[in-house]
Amino acid sequence: MTPIGARLQMRLDAEYLRMQNEWFFKWHHIGGDSVVEIDGFDGRMIRYSGIKFSGTARNVYWDTIQRYGRQKVGHLLDDLEIELQKYPLEIRSNALNEAQSLIRVFVGKIRKAAVDKDRILRGNGFTFPPQQDLGNWAGAQPLDIESRIATLRHIYCDLEFAKGRDGMVFRDMMRDKVTLVKADGTIARQNIQAQVSAGQIITFDADLPLEPGDHFLRSLPSGLVEDYVVDDPNFMTGIHGIPSSFQSKVHRSKETIATPQQVVQRITNHFHGNNSRVTFGTDISTNVVTQLQPVAVANLVEQIKPHVVSLPEPQRTEIAAPLKLLEDEIKSGSPEPSKVQAALRSILTMIEGAAGNLIAAGIQAMIMKMLGTPPS
């Protein structure tokens, strides 16, 4: 348990005992001759003597314990926010998880104590009526606690920032690079700074055309690629000087981790029989057949050309010659199959040197499919 969580646990244990021994216990004595003073949690004291626990007294009991619940949750979370600022990110994240659980358990115990005490106070010492919970516990419900914790997590974990000498805000948690691939196969943007964690990807690129069903691809040091499917883009408007961001809810694709070309092929390739279509980047396609048809090769060239600028060097320069050869062969009206295949294999060879580039992976997938070469 974190230092914050450990202190909170001790504080809540002590507070529960105090409520049992002081506040709840005093309600047993409101029917006696002496005046009993009970904290109203609104700056005033409740004073009773010689009164039965029913009617107005019972209503006051329930109103007061609910007021206590709201106030206590608010105070605990206010104090938690102050504590979070004293610790690094790793401690903050764990402390928030601990605090959410501890506070929910504490409120649950107070609520159960209120119900139990209400039943006892309505009894005659020998028989007791059924339990009743007359509170709606607004402000102390699990969802109320979860919402406030989520806000604290947003400010102090998801959007951690440090202030420089000039007061500007810098982002230092975006340590991953991801590629956004639209659901239709379009590669929307590469090299996006992001933070990837279980079930969530955060990025400050607030202008991304992000929609449910899109894919975030993250390259691993091994050369393989993780595929995350976007369930909810979850755009967050900037607050307190923190820029707007996407805190996308995602799930890992059920497909196994694969090479970049295999992952791109899954997303961008849509095969339907012998004369299938391959969509890459834009809504244009290549017909895949056993023979290298001139129209198919021409379409392939037209698909590749707009994306050449996104290739790294030296591939960006080297690809020009074989692409020119393919164009010349197509324009001749009677392309030589051996020259076309040689140019395609030349592109394939040079593209293999751009491992990790998603544009290169997409080109590689299309050529391998056209040549009938199984993916590596």
How many Å from the N-terminal Cα to the C-terminal Cα in the chain? Answer: 46
Q: Distance between CA 348 and CA 345 in Å, rounded?
A: 5
Calculate the alpha carbon distances from 132 to 55, 128, 245, 313, 316 in Å: 14, 11, 45, 73, 74
The structure tokens listed for 244 are 């707007």
Could you give the residue ranges of the DSSP H alpha helices within 49-177? 55-84, 89-122, 142-153
Helix (H) or strand (E) holding 206: none
Alpha-carbon distance of 182 to 215, in angstroms, equals 6
- Give the model confidence (pLDDT) of 92-149 as tens digits: 888 999 999 999 999 999 999 999 999 999 999 899 999 999 999 999 999 999 999 9
pLDDT digits (tens, 9 = 90+) for 18-42: 999 999 999 999 999 999 999 999 9
Strand arrangement of the beta sheet that strand 269-270 belongs to: 269-270, 276-280, 282-288
For the chain, what percentages of helix, strand and coil (3-state, to nearest 5) are there?
50, 20, 30
Instruction: Identify the CA nearest to 362 among candidates 228, 267, 286, 261.
Output: 261
* CA torsion angle 10 14 17 22 (round to 10): -170
- Report the pLDDT value the prediction gives residue 374, as an integer from 0 to 100: 54
H or E stretch at 302: helix 294-304
Q: Model-level pTM?
A: 0.48
Rounded Cα distance between 73 and 103, Å, is 7
Only one residue has tokens 């791109």, namely: 264
* Dihedral (Cα; 287, 288, 290, 295), 10-degree rounding: 30
- Cβ atoms of 224 and 218 closer than 8 Å: no
Q: Which residue bears the tokens 């929609």?
A: 211
Per-residue pLDDT of the chain (376 residues; tens, 9 = 90+): 899 999 999 999 999 999 999 999 999 999 999 999 999 999 999 999 999 999 999 999 999 999 999 999 999 999 999 999 998 877 888 899 999 999 999 999 999 999 999 999 999 989 999 999 999 999 999 999 999 998 898 888 765 544 333 333 345 567 788 888 887 777 788 889 888 887 889 888 889 999 998 999 888 777 778 889 999 998 887 654 567 788 899 998 877 665 655 665 566 553 333 333 333 333 333 333 335 667 778 778 887 887 787 788 888 888 888 888 888 887 777 778 888 888 888 888 887 777 667 677 778 777 887 777 654 4
